[in-house]
Chains A and B, each alone.
Chain A
C-alpha cells in the first residue's frame, strides 16, 4: 500500500482526457473499468490486511500479528527496544492515523523491526508502554536548538546529490506528468542559462552553466526539505532516556534508550571546524535508520558551549589526545587529493588536444574540480594536526576525518568490535601505521586514524583488549 499514491498519476492522466458528460463518463468507464477494478482490489486487500492485523500489549512485550493467509506474529520485548518513533504524516491527518515504529539492536540491516499504522488512541496506548524521560530527573542545561542552528544545519547538510535523488525519484515515479513538468523546467533552465551565458558569462559553456543551475536547484530543494524536517527541534533527556522531536509537516517524536547508543559522533566540516561549531549525532538502532533522516541530537552547537548535560552519552569537548597522528606522515593524508589536483589541468589539456570541440568544457570542468580537490587538501591538512585517539575511564575518543568531514567519536570501550592495524611498505621502515577501529551497530562503522606510531597503535589495541603485539611483530 506504500506506493499507492503513485496511482494518482495515471488517474490524473485519465481525468485530463475525460469529457464530463454522461457519454464521456460512460466511454471512460468502458475503457478504464479493468484498471479501476485492479485499483479496487488493491485497496480492498490493503484494507483487509489492515483490518486483520492485531496489536497486543502484554506485560513485557508488544505483539503484532498480520497477514491474511500467512500469519506473521512478531513479539518485541519492551526492554529490547532501542528507539520508538511516532510520526504524524501529512497524508494520514484526515484519517487521524499515526505511524508507530520501534527498532532493536537485532538484525543485519538498518531495517525498522516493527512498523505500525495506528489510530491516535492505539498509539497513545503503545507510547504509554515505552519508558520516557522522567521530568523529575530531567537533565537541565541542554540548550534548546535555535532557529539559526537548524538553518545552519540545513545549509551544511543539504546536498545537491540528495536533491538530485529527490528529482530523480519524482521523475521515475511520477510517470508522464512528472516527465513533462521536469522537461519544461529543464528547458527553461537551459534557455535561461543560454541567455546568461550569452549576455554575461561568455567564457562558461552553456551545458556547464545549466548543470550548475540544476545542482543549485537540487541543493535548494534538499535545503528546504531539511528545514522542514529539523525545524521545531526539541530535545530533553535524563540519565536513561532521550526524547527528541522534530519536523513541521511530518512531525516525528523519538524515545531513545541511552544504554543502546553505540557511539556518539561530533561531526564538523572545515568551516565548522574553524569556527568551533559541531553537530552532535548518535549511532543507535532506529534513530536515523531510514536514509531520509540524519541521526542528529544537537543540530549545530559551539563546541565550547556543549555543557556537561549530555556527558553520560559522551557529548563533551576538550579531550586531550593520548595518541596523535605523526606530522611526518602527512603524505598519508594529502597524497590522493594532491595527486588529483596536480593531474586535473594536464588531463584537461590532453582532452582538449584529442577532442578540440570539448576543449572549453574540459578546461572548465578541470577548474571546477580543482576547487574540491584543494578543499580536500585543506581538510586533510587540518586532520593531520587534529587526528588521534584517547582512552579514559571506560570510554574511547577517536578524532579523524572521512572525506570532507571531521569526526570525534566517543564510545564505550566494549563497543569497539574489531581493530585493524595496517602498514604500507614505506611504513614498515618508519614505524608508523593506520589504525582502523570498528564500532558495533546494525552495520559496524569504521573510523581510521592514519600515520600513528605502531607502538602507540599496539598499546591502544592492548588497552581495548586486543592483544595484537606478538602477531604484528611475528609478521614483520
Chain B
C-alpha cells in the first residue's frame, strides 16, 4: 500500500492565487465604489477571508488530504471537519480526465478525475510523478502520450 500526499507547491500556488484575487477585488471595489466606508468594510471582509483560507483552512485541508493505493484500488482520504474515505477499484473506472496547468511540476496543479458507475473520484494537487504512477495502475485506460 503506497501513500501519496498532495504536492505542497499546490498550497503555495493557491495562497498566491488567493492573495492576487484579493488585490484585484480590492482594486475593483476602490475604483468603482469610491466610498470610504464601503472600501473599509470590503477590505476588512477580504482580509478576514484571506487569513481564514491562507492560514487556517488550506493548511488543514492539505494536511487531511491523502491517497493510498495498492495497485488494485485507490482510496482518497479527505475532510477538515468531517473525515471522508472514498475507494474506487481501478478496474471499475469507466473513463478518466486529467487536468493540468502550465508549469504544473512547479505549481502542483495536477488533477485526475476517475469516472465510475454513478459517480466520480477527484484526486487533487498531485505531484506530477505521483500522477503518472497512479495512472499506470489503471492499465485498461490508454491515455496516449501525455
Contacts and interface: CB of A to CB of B under 8 A. Distances in A.
Nearest to A59: B142
Contacts of B142: 58-61, 63, 75, 77
Interface stretch (B5-13, B63-71, B74-82, B91-99): B91-99
A72 interface: yes
Q: On chain A, which size bracket covers the interface?
A: 20 to 34
A71 B145 CA distance: 14
A162 interface: no
B120 interface: yes
A76 B120 CA distance: 14
B140 interface: yes
Given A58-B144, A77-B140, A107 B98 contact: no
Given A61-B142, A106-B117, A108-B118, A72 B94 contact: no
Contacts of A108: 118-120
A56 interface: yes
A71 B110 CA distance: 10
Given A60-B140, A61-B141, A104-B95, A73 B118 contact: no
Contact of A107 (B96, B119, B140): B119
A105 B97 contact: no
Nearest to B116: A106
Interface in B80-125: 93-102, 115-120
A49 interface: no
A73 B97 CA distance: 5
Contacts of A69: 101-102
A76 B115 CA distance: 10
B45 interface: no
Interface in A328-356: none
A146 interface: no
A73 B98 contact: yes
Nearest to B114: A106
Contacts of B144: 56, 58, 61, 63, 75
B143 interface: yes
A74 B96 contact: yes
Contacts of A56: 144-145
Nearest to B118: A108
A75 B140 CA distance: 11
Interface of A: 56, 58-61, 63, 69-77, 80, 104-108, 113, 440, 442
Interface of B: 93-102, 115-120, 140-146
21 contacts: A58-B143, A61-B141, A61-B143, A63-B143, A69-B101, A69-B102, A70-B99, A70-B100, A72-B99, A73-B100, A74-B98, A75-B95, A75-B144, A77-B94, A77-B95, A104-B95, A105-B94, A106-B115, A106-B120, A107-B119, A107-B120
